[in-house]
Amino acid sequence: MTAIVIKLLVVFLVVMALVAKKQPIYVAVTAGAVVTWVLYGIPVADGIAAIIKACTSWSTLQLIVVMYLITFLQKMMGQRGAIDKAQKGLSSLFNNRWVNCAAAPIFIGMLPTPNAAFIAGDIVKASADKYMKHDEMAVTTTYFRHVSESFMPTYGAIILAISLAGITAGEFVVGMLPIVACIIASGCFWFLRGKVPMATGEAASTNKGKDVKDIFVGLWPILAIIILVVVAKMPIYVAGAIIMVAYFFLHKFSFSEVTPNFAASLQFKLYLNTFAVMTLKEFLTASGAINALPDFFAQLPIPTFMVFMLIFFFGSIVSGSQTIIGLCMPVAMAAIPNAGLPAVCLLMGTTYAAMQMSPTHICLTLTAEYFDISLGDLIKKTMPAVATTVVFTVLYYLAWTTFLA
């Protein structure tokens, strides 16, 4: 049992060591997959099957298609100055750079595609480029961009969790609100405080209606995609294609204007990163290491809820949130004394924090590439806010179960 976990640690040390040496993310993650294959003695046939599944599964190919469509749309929005218009509208309406750096990524983060971070990153750059280094803008973008994934019951991991735990979406959202408030406050404290001034230095707006209109005109494609995905239950690639076509006609593009975007929207390095991350996840699943984590942590002399916190934290880092939720949420609900909504909020808050440090989290690799920094630098910058969120989540759970149960 211990040997399985030690091998898992070796895999991640290899990945992070290569990342620290400024190797491309796809090289580091691919090396981790190879090491996993060798250390766990995965049969050659199973390894080849894992690679084929990672590279040809619809979930992977859909991700590539969505990346291309959103990048194409982003370039069209740039050609019409949409991001600049939205950023100026936000600045004028609130006259606060923190709103631009935090609220805009939170809103754009509701768009369920990893490279929504590119659009959020554009706004963060426009607001904070004079005050932040690239790694600081990167962590600000990805951290706030993921706030909605901690509590909105429109994401697969959350839908799965509340279904397995037998609680309603409304109960979950209300229960998570204090943790969400902590996530936002923690991000402001660690990433914005002392770096980005709140004031924009501009005069207060005298036309709030125009500001709201500018924000809407700038960001309406994102809002429209969110509505189509959340309300109409439309696949993200279908919604993206519809809005891209609508944007073309509504903003009176000529075909010659968008022709260069067909090639410029190809992001081969990002596609390599995606295939590498998906391959590593398949190998980790095939290794059986995920199934071994509960038994390993159960041996530790700590309270049951803490055992499952560790399982969800490290399991999410290793395999992603949906995998560990599917494997362990039913077990946790049966094993934690008086488990219910407090335990679900504890475990989901922990899972959210862990995903902000996971090398298998595709959004992190894309953001690191976008800001031209290493994944290791991004994760290192994220750690203080993650630690704050985890500590608050534990205290929240203890207070809830002690005084409100």
- When pLDDT is averaged across residues 27-38 and rounded to a whole number, the result is 89
Q: What is the pLDDT of residue 232?
A: 80
Q: How far apart are CA 196 and CA 124, in angstroms?
A: 11
- When pLDDT is averaged across residues 163-169 and rounded to a whole number, the result is 79
- 49-79 pLDDT, tens per residue? 999 998 998 878 887 887 788 789 878 988 8
Q: What is the pLDDT of residue 59?
A: 75
Mean pLDDT of the chain: 84
- When pLDDT is averaged across residues 330-359 and rounded to a whole number, the result is 86
Q: What is the pLDDT of residue 297?
A: 67
Residue 131 pLDDT > 80: yes
Q: What is the pLDDT of residue 269?
A: 79
Residue 313 pLDDT > 70: yes
Q: How far apart are CA 250 and CA 328, in angstroms?
A: 48
- 264-300 pLDDT, tens per residue? 888 887 788 778 877 887 887 788 776 676 677 677 7
Residue 36 pLDDT > 80: yes
Which pLDDT band holds residue 182 (cuts at 50, 70, 90)?
A: very high
Residue 1 pLDDT > 90: no
96 forms beta bridges with: 199
CA distances to 305, 324, 336, 346 from 331, in Å: 11, 11, 9, 15
Residue 176 pLDDT > 80: yes
Percent of the chain with pLDDT over 90: 29
Among 48-62, 143-157, 251-265, 352-366, name the one with the lowest average pLDDT.
Answer: 143-157
Q: Whole-prediction pTM value? A: 0.70
Q: What is the pLDDT of residue 113?
A: 65
- When pLDDT is averaged across residues 365-371 and rounded to a whole number, the result is 86
Among 8-22, 31-45, 169-183, name the one with the lowest average pLDDT.
Answer: 8-22
